[in-house]
Amino acid sequence: MRLLITAGPTREYLDDVRYLSNASSGRMGYAIAAAAAAAGWDVALVSGPVDLSPPAGCEFHAVTTTQEMRDVCVALFPTCDGVIATAAVCDYRPRERITGKLSKTGGPITIEMIETDDVLAELGSRKAHRFVIGFALEAQNPRENALQKLRRKQCDWILLNGPEAIGAETNSVELIGSDERTAAHWSGLKSEIGVRLIDWLRSQPSRPTG
């Protein structure tokens, strides 16, 4: 079994020193990568900037922007059996990146933003025989929004969690299948949830056990 995992945030630069990002720690993705490697799987971990060391035994790819994450994932996905996408990618980027450092003008400024590539949706559209598991961090109408994301991005399963997971050591997730039924619900340390997810995936009759 060869597994692609995305983790951490991405950054979109306004100028050479300022960027848009989020507070994702990468802990959930790194925990899943560690659990998969411990299970004997071949793991390709694609990570945005985080303050974590890659788990032992993982093939590691460091990226910064959403475009970089997309390019690496698209290149790796054909060699993998599936993907677990935990990365918190930026949804927007400035249309133009300013060279140097943006200086104060004494008044308001306007920065035009455009959507970034949807990495998970692209992998879903390319999945063929591969499985796709996404994460949905939702605050309002969480389950309905997660189901919409599952369908829109062609996931086989999606893990729903809330904003309290950002930067935390613990998490609470609901695993929802493409049939819209809850397959599992886990709470605890992210390291424990990573093990439970990999154990659950290994137990599925249509999935290799490594």
Q: Where does 37-191 show beta strands of DSSP type E?
A: 42-47, 59-62, 82-85, 92-94, 113-115, 131-137, 157-161, 170-177, 182-189
Marked catalytic residue, from 22, 145, 161, 171 = 22
- Element of type H or E holding 4: strand 2-7
CB 21 within 8 A of CB 187: no
**Among 63, 57, 73, residue whose Cα is nearest residue 21:** 63
**Nearest of 22, 29, 85, 21 to residue 52 by alpha carbon:** 29
Question: Any catalytic annotation for residue 22?
Answer: yes
Q: Catalytic residue numbers? A: 22
